[in-house]
Structures are given as C-alpha cells and as structure tokens.
Amino acid sequence: MNSTSSPLTSDHQAILINGKAHAATLRHRIREDVLAFHDRHGVTPGLAVILVGNDPASEVYVRNKAIQTHHAGMRSFMHMLPETTSETELLDLIERLNNDAAIHGILVQLPLPAGIDARRVTNAIQPEKDVDGLGEVNAGRLAMNLPGIVPCTPLGCLLLLRDQLGDMKGQHAVVIGCSNLVGKPLAMLLLAEGCTVSIAHIHTRDTAALARQADILVVATGCRELVRGDWIKPGATIIDVGITRAQTPDGKTRLVGDVAFDEAVQVAGRITPVPGGVGPMTIACLLENTLTAARMQVGETPS
C-alpha cells in the first residue's frame, strides 16, 4: 500500500480493518497452543482478574475476559471487590496471587477507584505474571527492546498493522495520546518495527499538521471524533483506539471512536472501525500474554 499516493477520487472508501475477525482467528490459534502446552507440561494456564468497584463498562470487560479465558482452554479466577476496598487489601490479594502456582497471569482492571494508587498496585504484580505488561519492569523491557510482556491494546494494534502493512520500516507513525496503557508502549513497538515515530499530546502545538504527515496514524485520546477527515494524509492507515458511548437523538447510545469515521473513511487507505476494530484484539492479546506468561513460568523461552 503506497500511503503517499495522489489525491483520492470522491467515491473513495478506505479498506476496513476487521479486528473482530482477526481476534477470532487469534483466539482459535491460542486455544490450540494452550492444548499443546498442556500436553507438554501437564499445566493449564490460569488468569486472575481483579475488579474493584462497579464501573459498568469494566464489569462487561472483565466478564468477557473470563468467558474468553474459558473458551481458550485456560482457567479463570475472578475477584470482584467492593468500591470500599482499601489499597492494602488489594495489595494483600495480589501478594496471595503472586504466590499461587495455579495463577500464571494477574490483571487489575483499570480504572481503579479514587484513593488507590494504580502505579503501586500494578507494580505489586510479579513481572512474570504481569499479563497487562503495565508494571515498570515490563515497561522498561519494552523500552530497551528486551523480551517481556507487552500491554494488550498496543500489541493488538501492532498485530493489525503487521497484518495489513507487513514491513513498516521507514513509515512515519504518528501516535496521538501518550498514556502508559496505549500511546507510550505503542510508540515503542512502532519504533522497534523501524517506523519514524512522533507522539502528540495535550501540549503539542499543531496536532492536525503532524497527523497530516502520518503514513500510520494511531489515535488513543478518549476525545470522541477528535481527528477529522482533513487531518488525514490520503491513503494513510488509521488505527482508532478510542471507545466512547454517545447518546443518539432517539435516546439510544452508540459507540464512537477518536476519529470522525464518516470523514476519515473517504480519505484513509485503511481504517479500524469502532466497534469491531482494536477493542476485540485487546482481550485476544490478553489470552496470548497469559499463555506467554505460563510458558515463561515453566522455563520455555518466549518466542
């Protein structure tokens, strides 16, 4: 795909990147790998997911994580804690899970209620069991290009990009958003792919001008429809990580991304929809990371 191609015709439509289908294929392969792993070691990978409080979206995500963990042939351990849980209680639970041989991966669903220090909690997870890859050890390994566990959403974006574009060396990737969850780790991954990487954030002077230079544009800001059609270089590949639930005039809700899809689809070469783009890849990559963690814990070398 040549992303520097000449201006597009008025009826141009970008190719949709089908994250839902890609995630299903990935989950199928993981299930086979879990069975093979069990045959080799007699061990079933186990994933513990901790949710503190009653955030409705988080409840849906952790329930889906449990269902998909079972479907992949792994064991799922759910810990649903009340909003009033103290940081000390949460740290005690993590300590127990760190020492439980049946648990190969531990994940604390974000966001956490106010008053709990997410950094302290994430860092309490033993790095080998940190299947979210958000602790300082795994973040450091990623920054140093060393083997480790990579955060799920950035890994999902990378797999989609590799599938669509193959070799990305020399491409200009612009990442809008610099969170520890998505923007920063994804920038590291794209750098390791050989991209020239720019990161835009709240203090960036002219984000639209920077975005217009991107062969690959990743948007992870949580600002719905921030990126307009005229921010996009014709033919560019767009990865929209944002998911916001918006009210429609008929009183219903719909999910919207950080990119104004109807405008972007007329300019981009390829684009992820919301829903059905990056989101489904997040949980599939969590399953992949849990299997990777179990492999490391039995002494297999990560691939």
Ligand X SMILES: Nc1nc2c(c(=O)[nH]1)N[C@@H](CN(C=O)c1ccc(C(=O)N[C@@H](CCC(=O)O)C(=O)O)cc1)CN2
The residues assigned a catalytic role are 65, 109, 132
Helices (H), 166-214: 183-192, 207-211
Contact 129, 293 (CB under 8 A): yes
The annotation places the binding site at 177-179, 202, 243
Nearest 5°: CA angle at 118, between 116 and 123? 125
Q: How many residues does the chain have?
A: 303
Q: Does 153 bind ligand X (CB under 6 A)?
A: yes
109 binds ligand X (CB under 6 A): yes
Distance between CA 91 and CA 110 in Å, rounded?
15
C-alpha to C-alpha distance for 226 and 220, rounded to whole angstroms: 10
Measured from the CB atom, is 129 or 233 closer to ligand X?
Answer: 129
Residues 11-70 that bind ligand X (CB under 6 A): 60-61
What are the tokens at 11? 């009826």
Is position 222 an interface residue for ligand X (rule: CB under 6 A)? no
Cβ 18 vs Cβ 160: under 8 Å: no
Tell me the window of 167-175, 191-199, 280-288, 294-302 that interacts with ligand X (CB under 6 A). Answer: 280-288
Least CB distance to ligand X at residue 111 (A): 7
Q: Point out which span in 25-33, 78-86, 101-109, 158-166 binds ligand X (CB under 6 A).
A: 101-109
Which residue number is nearest to ligand X in terms of Cβ? 279
* Minimum separation from the CB atom of position 210 to ligand X (A): 25
* Backbone φ, ψ for residue 199 (5° rounding): -120, 125
Q: Does residue number 288 form part of the binding site for ligand X (CB under 6 A)?
A: no
121 binds ligand X (CB under 6 A): no
CA count, 13 A, side-chain hemisphere, 98 = 15
Given the rule CB under 6 A, which residues bind ligand X?
60-61, 107-110, 132, 152-153, 243, 255, 274-276, 279-280, 282-283
